[in-house]
Amino acid sequence: MTTTSPVEKAGGATATYVDQRIGSNKFLSRNLGKVFPDHWSFMLGEIALYSFIVVLLTGVFLTLWFKPSMAEVVYDGSYVPLKGITMSQAYQSTLDISFDVRGGLLLRQMHHWGALIFIAAMAVHMFRVFFTGAFRKPREFNWLIGVVLTTLGLLAGFSGYSLPDDLLSGTGLQIARGIVQAIPVVGTWAAFLLFDGEFPGTEFISRLYGVHILLIPGLILALVTVHLMLVWTQKHTQFPGPGRTNDNVVGYPLLPIYMAKAGGFFFVVFGIIALVGGLVTINPIWIFGPFTPDQVSAGSQPDWYIGFLDGALRIMPNWETVIFGWTISWNIFIPALIMPGVLFTALGLYPFIEAWVTGDKREHNILDRPRNAPVRTGLGMMAISFYVMLWIGGANDIIATAFDLSINSITLFLRAAIFIVPPIVFIVTRRTCLGLQRRDREKLLHGYESGRILRLPHGEFIEVHQPLSQKDLAVITSKVDHEPLPAPDKADADGVRNKKYRSQSLRHKLSVFFYGANVPKPSAAEIEAGQHHAAHSAEIEAPLHDYEDADEFRRAHGGVLHHPGMAETNIEQQAEEHSGH
């Protein structure tokens, strides 16, 4: 029994005091020893969470100095090049934060870098969840919450980016206004209501401010809380490995290991954001100057996460129709509103679509290896390549300048590539996954190729195969062979027409597409035999190196050298030689 310090005594007394009132020890007893599985990719969501906390913290400090007003003032701060210039109070106070408040620039840059990292971490976290199938039952709600969080992250970023009222962000707002105006029927009125009249007006920054510092972060905070509570109650998924099943969690307990690792990682993320904020300039608004609606600089780029929308706007053909005197701007409406709407809706619905196609109603706590779900992995890569094409579109002027290309050619290329590249990426990814499945099967049947070549006494060269390690074996055999849904009958045995034939038939075909090409896992007996052979093959190596033992080896093995995969030909060869004598 360890000694108890006075601090611990006080802590214990406090715990009892609290427990008598809210029953907290029941919670602690269940959760202090809660086991979390370990994997580097599980830290991606943590990065998102921690950078969000840093952004909240720095944001609170920024509100102390920032003035969300478009009222005009004459600058008289310490940044000499802008002295005497008329500008909005929002821009002036951002300059003050950057030049006259000590540590203000650091907070501003941490806030901006933190936001970029927050959104990037959410995106990569989402990739991890998608490609490992972590969104499957029972975690569909958390996937949906994640999709909403990502959308809110984009809005939070854009609304914050627009607040300083510098030339670059003002141009962003001008574009946003143009997009709102392109909404059929209500667009013009919506734009007038949002901006209190025409662009830019005098109200928009203060309205956006409330959205940026209260509405969006409040929603994000609420959803993040639910997201984490669900992770907590459902317990984290785990990658396959020795001792890991669908019914357990293998990892480290919350206290002390996760407390130290995850808690420590918060400080690491915080520290890195502070270092980057101190060392790397971001959004130097003093260079852009105050906003005026009739000026713009060439090479204007939004923050990275808006790039795909900007790119979609750039590569869209210039379609516009006028019907009965009403104008529909397809050239804006499709890329800026329909495309992201469809993209995020498809993202949100994916778990439900996949579950319908596969008919899979089981709970999944062991993650899929991406190769074992080739169609899902292919679709994910296809979506990413689509996004990347748009992103390239968003930088078409930069690419044209940097590589001395025609901007028109890049745009024309992308108009075609957006439809051609994603399907190619899908096919290549799916094929690659199937190839990796075949390799896994080989490994199970014959062990892994050790890279060591042996020359046998009769002159033949073989490569030594070795049995898989316990971990590899557990990981590779985690693959579950799913059967596609059966083909439906047009009518039942009594000749009654199957009314659901069409939908069932479609589902059957999709399910065959999803699972059909998978390489089946060998049976347990085959795996056992394969690994045994591999072990055998590995054994023969040592004696041959030591030539003196060669005779003994031959005696022990009856002069026959087995090599998995070649074993039969070898034996046949030996048999022929014997018969020849």
Q: Residues 84 to 113: which contact another protein by CB under 8 A?
A: 99-103, 105-106, 109-110
By CB under 8 A, the residues from 190 to 209 that bind another protein are 191-202
Query: Could you say which of 72, 528, 551, 552 contacts another protein (CB under 8 A)?
Result: 72
Query: Could you say which of 210, 218, 242, 516 contacts another protein (CB under 8 A)?
Result: 242
Query: Could you say which of 264, 341, 457, 516 contacts another protein (CB under 8 A)?
Result: 264
Q: How far apart are CA 174 and CA 187, in angstroms?
A: 14
Q: How far apart are CA 248 and CA 231, in angstroms?
A: 15
- Per CB under 8 A, 457 contacts another protein: no
- What length is written for the chain? 581
Q: Site size for another protein, by CB under 8 A?
A: 130
By CB under 8 A, the residues from 536 to 575 that bind another protein are none
Q: State the residue for tokens 């300048």.
A: 401
Nearer to another protein, 70 or 224 (CB): 70
Nearer to another protein, 187 or 564 (CB): 187
**Segment near another protein (CB under 8 A); pick from 116-124, 229-237, 422-430, 551-559:** 229-237
- Per CB under 8 A, 494 contacts another protein: no
Q: How far apart are CA 383 and CA 504, in angstroms?
A: 27
Nearer to another protein, 8 or 483 (CB): 8
Burial 229-252 (b: 16+ CB within 10 A, else e): eebeeeebbbbbbeebeeeeeebb
CA 159 to chain centre: 23
Bond from prior residue into 240 cis (ω within 30 degrees of 0): no
DSSP 145-181: HHHHHHHHHHHHHHHHHTTT-BHHHHHHHHHHHHHHH
By CB under 8 A, the residues from 109 to 138 that bind another protein are 109-110, 138
Query: Could you say which of 22, 298, 496, 525 contacts another protein (CB under 8 A)?
Result: 298
Q: What minimum distance in Å lies between the beta carbon of 243 and another protein?
A: 4
Nearer to another protein, 410 or 519 (CB): 410
Burial 319-334 (b: 16+ CB within 10 A, else e): eeeeeeeeebbbebbb
- CA angle at 170 for the pair 110 and 407, rounded to the nearest 5°: 95
Query: Could you say which of 21, 81, 84, 294 contacts another protein (CB under 8 A)?
Result: 294
**Segment near another protein (CB under 8 A); pick from 123-131, 183-191, 459-467, 533-541:** 183-191
Query: Could you say which of 396, 429, 437, 570 contacts another protein (CB under 8 A)?
Result: 396
**Segment near another protein (CB under 8 A); pick from 308-316, 511-519, 531-539, 573-581:** 308-316
Contact 445, 477 (CB under 8 A): no
**Axis crossing angle, helix 167-181 with helix 187-195, rounded to the nearest 10:** 140
By CB under 8 A, the residues from 309 to 368 that bind another protein are 310, 313-320, 322, 325-329, 331-332, 335, 363, 365
Query: Could you say which of 64, 222, 275, 560 contacts another protein (CB under 8 A)?
Result: 275
Q: State the residue for tokens 């006259």.
A: 100
Phi, psi of 522 (to 5 degrees): -65, 160
